[in-house]
Amino acid sequence: MRALFPGSFDPATHGHLDVARRAAGMFDEVVMCVLTNPTKTGRLRLAERLALLADLTSELANVTVDSSAGRLLVDYCHGADIGVIVRGLRTLGDLEHELPMAQMNRHLSGIETLFVPTNPAQAYISSTLIATTAQR
């Protein structure tokens, strides 16, 4: 089975890589799909994010990198024969944000979402925090 691990990955973190590694152990293939988040100001160009993810996941034979813009995740999944969406959770706030989307995706398409709790050692790290710190 193929799984989709979507995100802005702006920038990718050790937490993202941890979730990708764990998902790679559960699925035949994991597609890390870089999306544009309209609520975030992009820091890295799409090409930079794709290259960074490709480099970070190069040792994971069943992880590929792609991008998508302007369409629903479930439409991407159907077009790519993907049956599961993987989402990492750091906090209860992440769950509150992700759960309604997972429920709507299932309602619209039947595609399930697998929530993967992050490693506690990395739970405080977010792309936004890294980008904010890097600007100093």
Asked about 90 being catalytic, the answer comes back as yes
Is 41 annotated to bind a ligand? Reply is no
Is CATH 3.30.70.1290 correct for 2-134?
Answer: no
**Coil vs helix vs strand at 46:** helix
The domain limits of the chain are 2-134
Mean pLDDT, all residues of the chain: 88
Specify the pLDDT at position 78. 94
To the query of whether residue 58 is one of the catalytic residues in this protein, the response is no
Q: Would residue 109 show up in a list of annotated catalytic residues for this protein?
A: no
Query: Which among 21, 22, 40, 67 is annotated as catalytic?
Result: 40
Q: How far, CA to CA in Å, does 14 sit from each of 2, 8, 31, 72?
A: 22, 14, 17, 26
Residue 107 is among the residues annotated as catalytic for this protein: no
Would you tell me how many other CB atoms lie within 10 Å of the CB of residue 35?
Answer: 19
Q: Which of 49, 107, 127, 136 is catalytic?
A: 127
Which residue of the set 21, 58, 67, 90 is catalytic? 90
With b for 16 or more beta-carbon neighbours within 10 A and e for fewer, the 85-95 pattern comes to: bbbbbbeeebe
Catalytic entry in 2, 14, 16, 97? 16
Known binder of ligand: residue 14? no
pLDDT tens-digit profile of 76-132?
999 999 999 999 999 899 999 999 999 999 999 999 999 999 887 755 555 554 444
Q: What does the pLDDT average to over 14-25?
A: 95
> Percentage of the chain with pLDDT > 90?
70
Rounded Cα gap, residues 62 and 53, in angstroms: 13
